[in-house]
Structure 1
Amino acid sequence: MAALSGGGAPWRRGWLPALQLVRRGSKAVTRHWKAMHFQRQKLMAVTEYVAPRPAIPPCCLPPKKETPEEVNFDNGYVRLLRRQVEEVFRDNRMIAVCHYNAMPDEDMVLMRYYLRKHNIAVKFVLNEIARPVLSQSKYKNLLPLFVARNILLVSPELKAKEMLRVLKGVPQVSLLGACIDNTILSRQGVENFAKLPSLEASQGQTVGALALLPSQTSSLLQRGSAHLLALLDQHIHRLRAGESGSPTEPTPAQDVGAH
């Protein structure tokens, strides 16, 4: 008993049984993917959330001002594009801004062909590239036209009439305005400009109008002297008739002598 009740008894020292790991048998996976029921699919489609449309379309909102973070994206390629826009506005006398809608490639090629026959080129310019250039130039009044997707029709000559004739058959391209000889015109202004006669005809009309007034003035100045010359010729004729002794009316000289 003493031996059993000694101080070294394990149950007095808080002995615990050894832990044993028991490995249970693994079960097979019995849950597989199953297609959703047709009725539930319809219910999920009907109850799907649809975001409301904005009251004002994004294209109609005023352009967002550039922030300093957006200005920092400038790189060499952007500077090259801006330099090309500056050259377009510097080297051409007619720059027309048009709104461009999607159209087949064949129609675009045909339109460019007919415009090229009149020495008119088509330029695709991004608004992000054109707006900074125009805001620092004398063409800044054209900025309201660069809102949506636009194209430029440029020419070193004044070909407004030919341009309108080609655009009449292309409804996908609408003329918004133009800058002709450093003068900004609206669509109606471009149409009125196209109705004007050619430069040679205008110069001929101007020369004719300027030559008409001097000719009328010269005829008025010569009318008095011509009338006086006719009266003197008639007086000399009467004097000669009186010297010949023919019984004619008394001449003005005889009347003066009688008095």
Structure 2
Amino acid sequence: MELVSKRAFLQMVSPLIQFKRFRGKINIQRPRLPHFEKAKYLAFTKPWFINPKKDKSQVELCKGFGEKLFEKDKENPFQEIIAQELRRWLTTSRLVVFYHHNPMNAEDEFKAYVMFKKQKMHFKKYGKRTLEMAVGGTPYETILDLYVSHNMTVFSPEPEIKKMLNITKKFPQLVLLAGILEGKLVSKNDLVKYSMIPSLQMAQAGLVQTINSVGSQLVSNLNSHQNTLVSHLSERAKQLEEDK
């Protein structure tokens, strides 16, 4: 009875629906022109604005850029402290050497710093702006021409030129440009020549040795005739004894 009642009524069958766009995909690159009425409303509602650069010359357009380009740097108290430190190093160091700094990894740069530090030399890097603040209006203003690209500076309380050159040979990334020796600006060739001159202690030792050699040579020269005469007399005495 139950089976008959179920078959007596119609059953709803849900069809399988698959949506598909008419005539394939939409062409995004070359879209189809809209209908005339739609195109009219789109043109009417299209936003518009006035170009602020319209009817302006090239000078007026570049005016803001020029003002920012030549704007003076703001005062930096920390940079002033570094400039004072740099000025102090220049005035107290007997030897100051300037290098052109080629690309160099951090490990080699640290090795160079340690090697200079062992010789009581200070390996420093300063920007040109800091250098201008330090040497502006001083006799050291000439060194600004050396700071064109990346540079390194070495300050030494003693003029140990030979030690400085030996360390420089180990790092080809450091190109020696010039230096300040005893307050005088010297070139690279002059530094090489000065390195061949012995130190003051060696010069003093050589002078003492020369003076001592002159004295001993004088004494030997004064005694040479007497010694020669004594030797001749002793030989003549031997000859006379043999004749007897």
| TM-score over 0.5 for the pair | yes
Deviations 1:42-66 (A, max 9, x none): xxxxxxxxxxxxxxxxxxxxxxxxx
Contact 2:95–2:158 (8 Å) recurs in 1? yes
Task: Please give the TM-score of this superposition, normalised by the length of structure 2.
Answer: 0.55
Is contact 1:122–1:151 with CA below 8 Å preserved after alignment?
A: yes
Aligned to 1:100: 101
Deviation at residue 142 of structure 1 after TM alignment? 1.9
Structure having the higher helix fraction is: 2
Question: How far apart in 1 are the matches of 2:200 and 2:117?
Answer: 22
By how many angstroms is 1:132 displaced?
A: 3.5
Deviation digits for residues 204-234 of structure 1, max 9, x if unmatched? 4456778999x8xxx9xxx9xxxxxxxxxxx
Are the aligned partners of 1:101 and 1:172 in contact in 2 as well (CA < 8 Å)?
A: yes
Conserved? CA contact 1:135–1:143, under 8 Å: no
TM-align CA RMSD: 3.1
Secondary structure of 1:139's aligned partner? helix
**1:202 aligned onto 2:206:** no
Identity fraction in percent: 21
> How far apart in 2 are the matches of 1:169 and 1:142?
25
Alignment match, 1:133 = 134
Q: Return the letter of the residue paired with 1:139.
A: Y
Amino acid at match of 2:91: R
Normalising by structure 1, report the TM-score: 0.52
User: Is 1:177–1:184's contact at 8 Å kept on the other side of the alignment?
Assistant: yes
Contact 2:93 2:157 in 1 (8 A): yes
Pair 33,120 (structure 1): closer, same or farther in 2 beyond 3 Å: farther
Determine the C-alpha separation between the residues in 2 that align with 1:210 and 1:146: 48
Work out the CA distance in 2 between the residues paired with 1:145 and 1:123: 15
C-alpha displacement at 1:190, in angstroms?
Answer: 0.8
Other-structure match for 1:156: 157
Q: CA deviation at 1:173?
A: 0.5
1:163-218 per-position Cα deviation (integer Å, ceiling 9, x unaligned)? 111111211100101112112110011111111101112234456778999x8xxx
Q: In 1, are the aligned partners of 2:99 and 2:175 still within 8 Å (CA)?
A: yes
Q: Deviations over 1:117-141 (max 9, x none)?
A: 2111210100111023223212123
Shift of 1:32: 4.6
Equivalent position of 1:189 in the other structure: 190
Label 1:140 to 1:208 Cα distance change in 2 as closer, same or farther (>3 A): farther
Alignment of 1:1-259 (within 5 A): 30=26, 32=28, 69-70=71-72, 72-205=73-206
Task: Provide the rounded CA distance (Å) in 2 between the counterparts of 1:88 and 1:111.
Answer: 19
Kept after mapping to 2: 8 A contact 1:92/1:156: yes
Which residue of structure 2 aligns with residue 243 of structure 1? none
